[in-house]
Structure 1
Amino acid sequence: MSVPSTKILDHIVHLTPPGSLEATSAQWRELGFKVIPGGKHAGGFTANALVILQDGAYIELIYFTHPLSYYPPGSPERKARETHYWASKAPGWIDFAFLGTSPTLSEVINERAEREGSGVKYLSEQEGGRERPDGKVLKWLITAPAPEDARGRWPFFCGDVSPREWRVPVDPPSNAEHPCKALGLAHVRLLAEEQGFSILSNQVTSIIGARPIESSASEAKWVLDSPNISSSPPYLILSKAKTEVELDYLRTGGAGIYEVGFLVPQGSGRHGSAETPFGRIVWVEEYSLSSE
């Protein structure tokens, strides 16, 4: 029996303050991205909009529908909002998902991690979903890290029960056509503390199921797959913090996603970095990746 893939980059989660979806969508449009409606998640605590890319991956612009103070103290809703796995996250890049390719993915990862002694553990699959503005109800299975504080350092997995194209509407093709010319995801870059780098590197290797293609004392790089076939695959990069800005990022939020790279065509005129209201992005020309 073939082992299901555990390295298909599905989407990256970008959090903004409660009730800020319209302003956030406008800010992403100013950066040159097309933003389409998403919907409200099961439970009603969060909702989203999407930036879909031609490689089949996407950016999830998520926010809490109400601040904590909206829910009466002591109520079940207040407790659920307080204990939500993203409740303590600061706005910005907070999490990332790989595509779930099996309803027993947690068993695959946990067995591999036990053999390798990496300490990785994932919970059994749990149901999730979202209702789109057009009334279509999406269903999926979430495979999440067992320690909640691993969210953002380890990916979670999202496996579609309803058709994936309902969750990621790539039709019409114009949904994935952006004024900034972004084609897909070039990389996700995680930052780690000095003392936690080697541990996290081993854990990521267990989760992905492959060793890094490049590795040094301060950085490791894994090649991932895209939901759609792409000539330039995305990478997961784990780095030790070097600059004062990066060190401050770690002091504020701990290890996790620091930057996201977007693949653009050669000669697009996009280069260097840019800032969302709460996160760092980098433009990566296509030839730079294909020549590696």
Structure 2
Amino acid sequence: MSTKTLDHIVHLTPPGTVHETAEQFRQLGFNVIDGGVHADGFTANSLVILKDHAYLELISFTHPPEAYPPSSPARRARDSHKWAARAPGWIDYAFLGNGSLTAPNRISDVINGRRDASDAPLYVDEVPGGRTRPDGEVLKWVISAPAKKDSILPFFCGDVTDRQLRVPTKPDSNARHPSGALGIAHIRLLTSRSSLAAVSKELSVVADGAPVSRTRTEAKWSLSTLNGEHPPTLILSTPEGPEQEAFVARNSAAGIYEVGFWVGAEGKEGSVTTPFGKIVWVSHV
């Protein structure tokens, strides 16, 4: 099975700001749809659906940590959430999983089975997830997460309920954007020079293939989407200049530096930033 189909990219903002962030993305030229609250109650999201059927997840915690009683189970769960320590911005990305919780068909089994026998497992056992939409529809999925908490590898989201419920690509107007955005052109990851070879090796295991191009400072993999005419590229680079060096230092030596969007002839040009992340408009004309 393919393990390099891009599902979505996660953009985090401070607690309680999901609706404010949705408005910010509308001002940037995106059509934004309300998402709902996740099953654990800790996070809520809004969605930007793209024509290639990938999407952006605009997410924030529903409450800051201090809203929960000290030492309570809820506070411990909030503090141990995988994104609890992440700074706002582009924080994660997901490939499409298969929804299986049963060995040997789980994504974790598939990917761990590709690694060198002497290497540690790249993914841990799957866990169920879900959220409730504003209209009351309950969604269910399975998450396959990297074994290392600070990993730059993608997690996998595999639907148990119909993916159309999670990613409402219909009607077609959901994926029409004033900016002209059509799909994901690239995800650019930055990592330290000392980590480039090791991270590149792990990403090759996930993508089930070597980079389509490689230099001393960069590696690229061609990804797929469910509906894209122009496939996205996953780019792993080492930092250039003080600003990118500072980014790597802030993000535990690796992180999503920018996201590129394909646009048509009338689409936006150049680049822009959200309050916390960089966007690049890429013409395919």
TM range (shorter): over 0.9
Alignment of 1:34-45 (within 5 A): 34-45=31-42
Q: What does residue 138 of structure 2 align with?
A: 137
Aligned residue for 2:156, secondary structure, equals strand
The aligned residue for residue 204 of structure 1 is 203
Answer yes or no: is 1:62 the counterpart of 2:56: no
Query: Cα deviation per residue 1:127-164 (whole Å; 9 max; x = unaligned)?
Result: 000000000000000000112121xx000000000000
Q: Note the alpha carbon deviations across 1:80-99, whole angstroms, 9 max, x for none.
A: 00000000000000000000
Unaligned runs of 5+ in 2: 101-105
In structure 2, distance between residues paired with 1:269 and 1:61: 22
Q: Structure 1 residues 41 and 102 mapped into 2: Cα distance closer, same or farther (>3 Å)?
A: closer
TM-score (norm. length: structure 2): 0.96
C-alpha deviation, 1:286, in angstroms: 1.2
Q: Give ranges in structure 1 of 5+ residues lacking alignment.
A: 288-292
Taking structure 1 as the reference length, what is the TM-score of the superposition? 0.93
RMSD value, Cα: 1.1
Aligned with 1:149: secondary structure? Answer: coil
Distance 1:102 1:27 in 2: 33
CA deviation after TM superposition for structure 1 residue 120, in Å: 4.7
For residues 196-275 of structure 1, the aligned pairs below 5 Å read 196-228=195-227, 230-254=228-252, 255-265=254-264, 267-275=265-273
Moved >3 Å (runs of 4+) = 117-120
**C-alpha separation between the residues in 1 aligned to 2:67 and 2:267?**
45
Alpha-carbon distance, 1:125 to partner: 1.4
Aligned positions of 1:1-292 closer than 5 A: 4-101=1-98, 103=100, 104-115=106-117, 119-150=120-151, 153-228=152-227, 230-254=228-252, 255-265=254-264, 267-287=265-285
Q: Which amino acid aligns with 2:5?
A: I
Separation in 2 of the partners of 1:279 and 1:82? Answer: 24
Within 1, Cα distance between the matches of 2:94 and 2:121?
A: 16
Q: Tell me how far apart the structure 1 counterparts of residues 99 and 38 of structure 2 sit (CA, whole Å).
A: 22
Identical-residue share of aligned pairs (%): 53
How many residues are paired up? Answer: 279
CA distance in 2, matches of 1:202, 1:118: 11
CA distance in 1, matches of 2:158, 2:283: 30
The answer to whether the 8 Å contact 1:142/1:156 transfers is yes
Whether the aligned pair in 2 keeps the contact of 1:14 and 1:92 (CA below 8 Å) is yes
